[in-house]
Structure 1
């Protein structure tokens, strides 16, 4: 059971830790002036990293840390399970509305319009005001060519566009490093180029774009920018592990993502869309969506606040 704490208890337990981790006072500004605080960056915390809290405490934590909202995890092993979406998603969204947030972002495992819970998830989310949802991950088949798989996935996206339009909610295909469909921005471009609809787009992830693109990520960003409807922020670096190179997730600004170059392009391209912050470095299990954490909760909150302030600083350092 996730123990519910009061707003007062949360502030008492977390304020000291947050104050020690940042250069500016954590709660010196009015609680809900997020867009002003973030200088037009609308940053939501991915609720995967707060799954050790119930909905009310999750929302309270996100507000106190300084986020503009919550990117709700609505998928298997998520904060809201697809089979319980009609009952639990309204509860989660009412909790985030209570602290002044608007329910803009949701992360799902949806792959097609005819999956068992797809319609329930999209219909419920739309009714509650969610504007964008991230899709699940498609895999390449050993029995089909890459071109055939791309074509098949594109057809599935077209059917989702119809359902998205019906419910008034927009899908987002995240670029994700690895061997699945959409690791490369060029793959996503192929998937979306013949879909002339704003009801499906790209959730651009600079961490994964840098892993896959190295020094050419800027070309990919320029290519896909007309389709971007949301962003993900996180960082990484390459390390030698067991005699081979591997990726290690790290806090914002401590890795290989060139945030200054990236933010400069976002400003130049005038890309103003909702942003989801992912904290996938060691946070006592919070990075994996655990229901319990092995470190003090205040340390998790402190790390998130540090990432948030680093983003703010880097954003303000570029023209």
Structure 2
């Protein structure tokens, strides 16, 4: 944790630089409760801190009690792919200054044959990153779905070979909706020829719950040997104008069965890095805005609250 003096200096500098952080009560950055025994390391998704520069992002994440940052290195991210060689080292330097090691990053990478994708992975690996989330594939209309799965399997396999050379691991996230991978069976099929040590799944319990409310455990048990990272978030179904739709909510306030889920993680000994997402309304921070419409403190308080809830739910499972 930063000292009281350095925290005060940080806040003063931030205000002088344009109110990046509002003056706030000391308890807003109070020390978080220690993590329960056996709990994985929790990283904050930098998408929700894109209204801060690298230095501020790193210092806030450390103050709030996170173990690291899952850095967005993608279009409209904290680091743009075309600037990866100049800007990614700056982000890493800021993280290291507060005691974080570069570990997770989120990308739009799709193909090892793509020069931009290859350079991005090479740069990140050289800086010490270990896990990345790749982009989602999409079905077209020119082939059958099995034919598309074959095509995507080849791309995932190619990425796994590149990952092995670089010493990093790629992850494909299950995502609710029409993108490839809403069903864990699609991801399982795409991983069949990949190097299992260097390509796997980023398991998202929110999306798994939306797509398989009564059967999500089946998908989890199928994909669990391939899980490399985890995403934590929550949701409910809500009816608006006569139509049902998913609505993101703070952790523990939705329909995700965290008790059963965390028991399964413990039973299968799934000990991998965790990324916390906050996709409920936070003045644009939830959507990765570079300028937000709420006080910074609103976002920080939400992060601190969800992190504490995550620890409580883990301890109770």
| TM score, norm. by length of structure 2 | 0.92
Q: Which of 35, 38, 49 is matched with 1:37 structurally?
A: 35
Partner of 2:28: 18
8 Å Cα contact 2:125-2:166 kept in structure 1: yes
Deviation at 1:162, TM superposition (A): 1.5
Counterpart in 2 of 1:32? none
CA distance in structure 2 between the aligned counterparts of 1:241 and 1:126, rounded to whole angstroms: 45
**Counterpart position of 1:307:** 306
1:225 pairs with 2:224: yes
Residue 44 of structure 2 contacts residue 275 of structure 2 at CA under 8 Å; is this kept in 1? yes
Residue 194 of structure 1 deviates from its aligned partner by 3.0
Q: Where do residues 36-185 of structure 1 align in structure 2 (5 Å cutoff)?
A: 37=35, 39=37, 40-185=39-184
Distance in 1 of aligned mates of 2:47 and 2:142: 34
Question: Is the Cα–Cα contact under 8 Å of residues 17 and 298 in structure 1 kept in the other structure?
Answer: no
Contact 1:177 1:211 in 2 (8 A): yes
CA distance in 1, matches of 2:312, 2:122: 38
Deviation sequence 1:121-154 (CA, Å, 0-9, x none): 1111111110000000100011111101111000
For residues 52 and 38 of structure 1, the distance between their equivalents in structure 2, rounded to whole angstroms, comes to 31
Q: Structure 1, residues 176-234: CA drift from partner, whole Å, max 9, x if none?
A: 01101111111111111232431100000000000001111111111111100000000
CA distance in 2: counterparts of 1:89 and 1:210, whole angstroms: 34
232-241 vs 188-197, which moves further: 188-197
Relative distance call for 1:167 and 1:15 in structure 2 (3 A) is: farther
CA distance in 2: counterparts of 1:280 and 1:135, whole angstroms: 19
What's the CA shift string for 1:73-126, capped at 9, x where partnerless?
000000000000000001001111111111110000000012231121111111
Corresponding position of 1:27: 31
- Spell out the pairing of 1:205-216 with structure 2 (5 A cutoff): 205-216=204-215
Contact 2:153 2:192 (8 Å CA) reproduced: no
Query: 10, 13, 22: which one pairs with 1:7?
Result: 10
Moved over 6 A (4+): none
Which sits farther off after the overlay, 6-15 or 156-165? 6-15
SS at match of 2:72: strand
Matching of residues 259-270 of structure 1 within 5 Å: 259-270=258-269
Offset of residue 28 of structure 1: 6.6
CA distance in 2, matches of 1:113, 1:226: 24
Report if the CA contact (8 A) 1:53-1:291 is conserved: yes
For the Cα contact (< 8 Å) 1:17–1:302, is it kept in 2? Answer: no
Q: Do the aligned residues in 2 keep the contact of 1:234 with 1:279 (CA within 8 Å)?
A: yes
Q: How many residues align?
A: 302
Distance 2:106 2:126 in 1: 16
2:17 is aligned to none
CA distance in 1, matches of 2:173, 2:76: 19
